[in-house]
A and B are shown apart, each in its own frame.
Chain A
Amino acid sequence: MNKRLLHYSLVFLLTSLSLGLQSCGKPKPSGPPNSEVGLVFDVGGRGDKSFNDAAYDGLVMAKDSLGIKYQYIEPGGGADRESALRQLASKKSVGLIFGVGFMFTDDITRIAKDFPDKKFACIDYTYDSTKAIPSNLIPIEFREEEGSFLVGAIAGLMTKTDKVGFIGGMESPLIRKFQVGYQAGVKCVNPKAKVLVAYAGVTPDAFKNPAKGKELALSQYSQGADIIYHASGVTGLGVFEAAREMNKYAIGVDMDQWNEAPGHVLTSMVKKGNMAVYDIIKEWKAGKFKGGMPAIFGLRDDGVDFVYDKNNKPLIPKSVYDRVEQLKQDIIDGKIKVPAR
């Protein structure tokens, strides 16, 4: 009897601990109806030094300058995403809900239909022009291909072996945008350069397998690539590790990743998720929320860019920088069309 009791309580303790730790919602007294912003993070959650942190930064900016209140949920596993969205949408005080990451695409579309009087926005939504977007949902799209084009141009101008690499996380239309833009950038400035392409996998786990990222990078470096651009989340930390070990260059993604391997990070393609979150909250607060159509953040809107600051200035010659700035202007002026697929 005693043993059985102990057994049940132990199993209960273990499961409740593990489930409880994963989803730490932030209970707060609720304000007036539709006055608050809710946000559900992607795998990785807050502190991922990537686009989850960028999105959170946007919330904080909105709190500081617009005075809005927010609450967020960090889901643990895959199935929690939908229930987290639903949980926030069911709260009276929450009027606008963000989903962070393309994995939210299907769930947020469904829940936007279920809660027609709430507003939704989804970062990196996989936009499919054949399907209608609910009028209370804004898909937030970045022109990653434009930013990737510029870092590709840097790689193409700076490679000594005429071979550069690309490592993607989960093979998906989103990550393909990075790859295609990068390849176009390399070819634009250095037509004879070869781009080696590898993906870590075909499931979301491919974004969190640094050991795999390291092996993929080591193999590309040993095939002669001297610069590798990654778009693979935490998996990319393995790419930086390989760059250190082989004394080669890597290019970061989403945020400035210089600190992951100082001296080996040539530049980073930054995606300004904070600006997107802030802009949408601002418009929503002003009553100008326009759903049903994607909100696009490209080079022109300062939604994507590449890093050129005091850290990596010594690594990139002035002539290369000038050339890339020119390309950037050409893209903004529409003289260069960057492919996305």
Chain B
Amino acid sequence: MIGQIFSLAFLAQTIRISVPYALASLGGVYSERGGVVNIALEGIILNGAFCTAVGTYYTGSPLVGILCGVAGGLFTALIHAIVSINIKADQIISGIAINLFAVGITKFVLGILFHSSSNSARIRGLPHIYLGFIEHQRDVAHLLGNPMVLGTIAIVIASQVILFKTRFGLRLRSVGENPEAADTVGISVNRYRYYGVLISGALAGLAGAWLAFDQHSFTDGMSAGRGYIALAAMIVGKWNPLGAAAACLLFGLAESLQIQSQGGALPTQFIQMIPYVATIVVLAGFIGKAVAPGADGVPYEKEK
């Protein structure tokens, strides 16, 4: 039983589930490190998935699809950026409005383009990179041969470097931590906050692209709460790219465990609880205090 659960297939499944979490969660890190709370991730994922499906369907090219997904994410994030950075509105309210908006607009356009309220037409998936030596292991080959898996790992590592080893990262963190200080040394707070939110839009849009390709279509409400789980992972990971990615792997592991252990002796309701219990245990037991960036969620008002 144990051997059957912890197999290569199990490992591959864990990573497949974790990829969209990780992308969105990294997005959250960029946005909040810059001082803008982004609960709009859920809606951005949904719009990203939708734009990916539409782009791929009409051009037949998954590459164009990914670009459309990223563009959709960027555009949605731009709304959030304008509302929360320029207009200085409550960032939570803006996020909720965008999430509601995404549910409505995707369904509306879905009806116009595909005459369905549930799913789009079938789209092509991402091309599979052929890895000769490992093709006999179907699960692993499918996983490693997927360009987005390798891309996600690269983005995680690059983000850690960008945030903590580059001038851009230092500036982004400074406008999230202490915008007054950043402002006095001549860093444009608003501009860096825009960068943070827009990068988060692009990444969450990619998360949506993953979902659309995995499913070979867009289906209504397919983000299914992943944006919120990504936010939780970001907090568990203490606003660090590597930490957030590790937390996503943990959530993926718990979900995969929940899938594999169904139909056994335990009742489903109990098994469905595993990911959430894991979250609470990790949050309360191992991580210790998670401290948000100093100016997270606070609009910056330049002194006159």
Contacts and interface: CB of A to CB of B under 8 A. Distances in A.
A202 interface: yes
Interface in A10-62: 10-11, 14-15, 17-22, 44-50, 52
Contacts of B119: 49, 234, 237
Contact of A11 (B16, B93, B111, B222): B93
A107 interface: no
Interface stretch (A84-92, A126-134, A208-216): A208-216
Interface range on chain B (Cβ under 8 Å from partner): 35 or more
Contacts of A52: 117
B211 interface: yes
B215 A238 contact: yes
A3 B87 contact: yes
Interface residues of A, number: 47
B180 interface: no
A208 B225 CA distance: 11
A199 B102 CA distance: 27
A197 B88 CA distance: 50
A124 interface: no
B135 interface: no
Interface in A185-238: 196-199, 201-202, 205, 208-212, 214-216, 218-219, 222-223, 234, 237-238
B118 interface: yes
Interface stretch (B50-58, B262-270, B283-291): B262-270
Given A18-B97, A202-B268, A215 B220 contact: no
A18 B139 CA distance: 40
A222 B219 contact: no
Contact of A216 (B98, B103, B262): B262
B17 A234 contact: no
Given A3-B87, A7-B83, A234-B220, A46 B117 contact: yes
B117 A15 contact: no
Nearest to B87: A7
Interface string B1-44: 00010000100010011000000000000000000000000000
Given A14-B94, A18-B105, A237-B215, 4 more contacts: A11-B94, A14-B100, A18-B104, A205-B224
